[in-house]
């Protein structure tokens, strides 16, 4: 078993869910003794939004909870990411399928569904892109639930990678 030092969160375009997850995880970890111990980043499976900030609805929902996404710049996952991160978390089963297809055989990264790794729930976080702010609020709630569980596991030493 190794110590968790880095997490990469993934969604389709690094525009909605993964920026929210990255922002929320980073914000929550900064409130704990793990603040300088775990690097959190995000990326997308595609490059549709590369170079852009987070979706305005994601930005606004995060802002409502005191989380700043203003420094987010969307990017596509790289080959190197599979070697630089301990854990790579997809938001839904289609993300997981794509990650498992492109992962190099030599990776040691644990690849898992966000809510399965964080909260032990085989549950997807649906893409809110085609919906309104309420969908982004719902996604935030799921991410928050997973983040709380992840921090509990870190604090009690039950997280295994």
**Two structure tokens written together for 118:** 């964080």
SS3 track for the chain: CCCCCEEEEEECCCCCHHHHHHHHHHHHHHCCCCCCCCEEEEEECCCCCCCCCCCHHHHHHHHHCCCCCCCCCCCECCCCHHHHCCEEEECCHHHHHHHHHHCCCCCCCEEEEHHHHHHCCCCCCCCCCCCCHHHHHHHHHHHHHHHHHHHHHHHHCCCCC
Selecting among 16, 17, 22, 81, the annotated active-site residue is: 17
User: In the annotation, is 86 catalytic?
Assistant: no
CB atoms within 10 A of CB 34: 16
User: In the annotation, is 127 catalytic?
Assistant: yes
How far is C-alpha 67 from the chain's CA centre? 14
User: In the annotation, is 11 catalytic?
Assistant: yes
Residues acting as catalytic residues: 11, 17, 127
């Amino acid at each position: 078993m190794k110590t968790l030092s880095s997490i990469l969160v993934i969604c389709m375009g690094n525009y909605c869910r993964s920026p929210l997850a990255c922002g929320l995880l980073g914000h929550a970890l900064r409130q704990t003794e793990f603040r300088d111990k775990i690097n959190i980043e995000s990326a997308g499976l595609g490059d549709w939004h590369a170079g852009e900030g987070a979706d305005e609805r994601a930005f606004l929902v995060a802002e409502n909870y005191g989380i700043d996404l203003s420094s987010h710049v969307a990017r596509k996952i790289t080959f190197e990411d599979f070697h630089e991160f301990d854990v790579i978390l997809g938001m839904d089963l289609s993300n997981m399928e794509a990650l498992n297809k492109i992962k190099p055989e030599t990776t040691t990264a644990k690849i898992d569904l966000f809510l399965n790794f964080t909260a032990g729930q085989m549950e997807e976080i649906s893409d809110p892109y085609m919906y309104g702010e309420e969908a982004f609020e719902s996604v935030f709630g799921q991410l928050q639930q997973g983040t709380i569980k992840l921090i509990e596991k870190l604090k009690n030493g039950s997280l295994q990678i």
